[in-house]
Amino acid sequence: MNMFLKKAKVIRFNTKDTTSIKKNTYCFNKSHGNPLSYGEINNAVERGYIYQYMYITTDEEIKKGDWYMFMEDSLKGQFEKAKKVESQIPFHDCKKIIASTDESLDLPKPSQAFIVKYCELGGIDEVDVEYINQVMGYCANCTGTEYVKCDCIDGKRIHNIIPKLNVDNHNTITIHPIKNS
């Protein structure tokens, strides 16, 4: 399996849930300081902070079972919740969500180190996310009725190479920053 990088966008949205990412509503421009904070802040809401979730999105094809968001809603600031594909629907102007700090989405999450760096920098718009090529297929020695990981090297293999998000055993992805906000 070889590793490669894909470009992705980092988007944040307000939530009523308590999160580790907070935006200071009193920071209107750079002269007011960094609007983002990570970690605990006593009386955060009373002190002008809004809790936020982070979403990592791509232009990948959206399939059944994937999480997605309508970008038009997000640009208007009307984003409420990610949606999961239950049936085939048109995906005009949608982005696939591949990772999030919103644990209710049952998706991988960005590393804590990335989230801390993201907040320290005041945001990062674009990132590279690690993927691996996973070989899926069946072997001539198998029944050929279902796809299984095939390790055959005798040339009898029938397979597909499927790009897969590289997720560690803590359900965390590896992100490399490209451009700061």
Structural domain boundaries, residue 20: 3-180
Q: What pLDDT is stored for residue 126 in this prediction?
A: 93
pLDDT digits over 134-154, tens only? 766 655 555 545 555 555 555
**Distance (Å, rounded) from C-alpha 41 to C-alpha 120?**
15
Q: Which of 37, 39, 42, 36 is nearest to 20 (CA)?
A: 39
Domain total in the chain:
1
User: Band of the pLDDT at 90, cuts 50, 70, 90?
Assistant: low
Torsion of CA 113, 118, 119, 123, to 10 degrees: -170
Which of 59, 58, 61 is closest to 85 using CA atoms? Answer: 61
Average confidence score pLDDT of the chain: 81
List of residues 6+ apart from 94 with CB closer than 8 A: 62, 68, 69, 70, 71
Kind of pairing, strands 83-84 and 124-139? unpaired
Q: pLDDT grade, residue 111 (50/70/90)?
A: very high
Closest CA to 102 of 76, 83, 123, 128: 83
The 10s digit of each residue's pLDDT in 18-41 is: 999 999 988 777 677 788 999 888
Over residues 151-168, the mean pLDDT reads 70
In this prediction, residue 61 carries a pLDDT of 87
Residue 8 pLDDT = 95
CA distance 106 to 74: 21
Cα distances from 176 to residues 25, 81, 117, in angstroms, run 28, 26, 11
The size of the chain, in residues, is 181
Give dist(CA 141, CA 138) in Å, integer: 8
Please give the pLDDT value at position 94.
Answer: 84
Lowest mean pLDDT among 31-45, 79-93, 145-159: 145-159
